[in-house]
Amino acid sequence: MVDHLYRLQLQTIMIHTYKLDGMHCGSCVGRVQEALEAVPGVKKVAVSLDPQEAVVSMSGHIDTAELDRAVRKAGAYSLTDEVQVINTMGGHNQAKADVFTAPTAAALPLANSDLAEPSATTYKPLLIILAFLLGITTLVEIRMGTFDWMRAMSTFMAGFFLVFSFFKLLDISGFASSYRMYDIVAKAMPGYGFVYPFIELALGVAYLTQVNPLITNVVTLVVMGISMVGVVQSVINKRKIRCACLGSVFNLPMTTVTIVEDGLMIGMAALMLAMM
């Protein structure tokens, strides 16, 4: 009997619903969730954008001020006392409650549920862009009269970096917020997210003008290789976050498609270096 009560106590957790303020997009949702999940004692978090709320499952009482401090460190957000507390042991809803059963925690909704599900339709903008780049590259080679692999790859990569930097620059602040969710450098240095679109722009111009191909390809390998690390980590951990490859203009989820995209640039840069 004592062992049964002890096991029941171990399974007992608390679930509180808090009101949030300051979120504007899926990236904000991800940043707030990540901040709350890092608080000691928090077991599971589900953040929603509409309404702006956080359902927090915890092993014991955590002061609201502590959760608010964690949220504020993630950005211009704030967290206030729970707007609703659900007692899963039965009875009426209470303004304050302390004991909840563990099975309910598993039923918490997924965060970032506003992200589109991976499908051909979801990636339609990306597929159209890649088709245009392949078409332009083919037309350039036809115009030149002979097909040259080095020239074709340089043209494709120039178009890739110029187009992708354009979409990032449309909302550079939104891109930086999304990029910081998974890129290892942007996490450590938030300003890197504001610089990255200009790095891609510079690489696009370099490939287009064929200025110092050796340095251009080496920089591409380093920049895209670092970016790949964060992408792979996010996909392996099955994090449901927005892919920032096309900035904040399109609602693209992070999947293996992003790995293929970065891997393509890394592979082409490495191949061009090998062919020099």
User: How does pLDDT run across 40-85, given as a tens digit for each residue?
Assistant: 888 889 888 878 888 888 877 888 888 988 998 888 888 987 644 4
Q: Is 236 exposed, middle or buried (0-12, 13-18, 19+ CB in 10 A)?
A: exposed
Token pair 């050796």 is found at: 214
The pLDDT of 202-226, averaged and rounded, is 95
The pLDDT of 109-120, averaged and rounded, is 50
At residue 171, does pLDDT exceed 70?
Answer: yes
Per-residue exposure over 24-33, b if at least 16 CB sit within 10 Å of its own CB, e if not: ebbbbbbbbb
Q: According to the model, what pLDDT value does residue 86 have?
A: 43
* Average pLDDT score over the chain: 80
Q: Which residue has the higher pLDDT, 111 or 136?
A: 136
Q: According to the model, what pLDDT value does residue 110 have?
A: 37
Q: According to the model, what pLDDT value does residue 133 have?
A: 94
Express as a percent the part of the chain with pLDDT over 90: 34
Q: According to the model, what pLDDT value does residue 113 have?
A: 43
At residue 132, does pLDDT exceed 70?
Answer: yes
